[in-house]
Copies of this chain bind each other. A is one copy, B any other.
Amino acid sequence: MKDRIEKWMRENRQQMINFLQQVVQAPSTQGNEAGAQKLIADKLREMGLEVDVWEPTGDELVKHPYFCSPRTEFTGSPNVVGVWKGIGNGKSLILNGHIDVVPVGDVKQWEDNPFSGKIENGKMYGRGVTDMKGGSIAMLFAIEALQALDIRLKGDVIFQSVVEEESGGCGTLSAVLRGYKADAALIPEPTEMKIFPKQQGSMWFRIRVKGRSAHGGTRYEGVSAIEKAMLVVDAVRRLEQERNNKITDPLYEQIPIPIPINIGMIQGGEWPSSVPDAVELQGRMGVAPEEDMQEAKKMMEEALSLINDDWLKEHPPQLEWFGAQWVPGTVDRDHALMNHLICAYREVFEKEPIIEASPWGTDGGLLAKVGDTPSVVFGPGVTSMAHYPNEYIELDRVLECAQIIALTMTQWCEIALS
């Protein structure tokens, strides 16, 4: 089986590369996903799948407790799902990828047009090629290979190309609410071929710290919000340490800070010679795979309330959760999908895979928590290139990943004997 899949993929490699290039050249940043989604939907139709295209909408979605997006209106930002029906009596599998890509950032840092899809030395370049169009096209190619080899599966395969992963996952949430659930899911985010049975969740926070203004020459008459913000940063660091000291999961053995709390932004004060009366911090709190997000929020609240400072006791820092969040997720190390994936990996690479916990969130948390669909993350992209200028993917990895996914499907969904 492995050899037949490999042979077909080798022979049809260029066709896959061409399609990946086309999809990369469609710049599907937030609000601009329609072009790339049309390419995907057309392809799915060509492959004979049952195709469902819809724009997320409705109260059930935007009032859902796990809804998280800077927008509530998704016209022009469709989800695409294609179902490859099995003949029955098999386990179903969701193959989930997101079509949205993060902004290109400072264009001057790119050596080429960020949406060039240029190929050089076995690498394809472009925003989103690693995160995660390469992974999505690997999944499509896996289905194509099985179809071309006349293989039928018992279980359904549900291919999903969703919007909004980069801003909190409401594309996947909408798919779950539309009824798409399965016995398990595979998400080829850029893990660099590592297998992640556990995914860290994360939430964004904002902390406002108050001071009292005064002239800089009589600064003792004021209270510096910058100095008070330093106490807050200290408290957040202590909380991070406490939380991470409790992590004993062997999957995190190699990770210096399994669930970091990152303070990403600080801003305060209005004039060099005035005492600053307000500072705002913004950051991201990591949530452990098995942890409840509400519990994590409470820990942060408590840490802030315990800061030993008279001024801050009287003027407590204002904590707010805003912007994006990613629900954590976990499947058992011995889950059958894990076993199939590990076996397929061994077959293709003839070595043991690296199994870790992801340092970032994916839509797998939502699939598990809301959709009851345990999710494993495994994909071909280069982890360090996600969100970075000159993002690229190694095309050999896309092929290898497609092989492994195809083999995994034959095991999980089972081949129907004809």
Contacts and interface: CB of A to CB of B under 8 A. Distances in A.
Given A224-B263, A226-B266, A230-B230, A217 B359 contact: yes
- Looking at chain A's contact residues, the main secondary structure is mixed
A218 interface: yes
B284 A264 contact: no
A38 interface: no
A189 to B, nearest CB: 12
A279 interface: yes
In this complex, which of A218, A279, A282, A358 has the most chain B Cβ atoms within 10 angstroms of its Cβ?
A218
Contact of A273 (B219, B255, B264, B268): B264
Contacts of A220: 255-257, 260
A215 interface: yes
A216 B266 contact: no
A381 to B, nearest CB: 13
B272 A264 contact: yes
Contacts of A90: none
A286 to B, nearest CB: 6
A107 B199 CA distance: 50
Contacts of A262: 216-217, 219, 224, 272-275
A216 B202 contact: yes
A307 to B, nearest CB: 15
Contact of A216 (B275, B284, B323): B284
A269 B272 contact: no
9 contacts: A205-B272, A218-B359, A219-B262, A262-B272, A264-B272, A265-B269, A265-B272, A266-B267, A267-B268
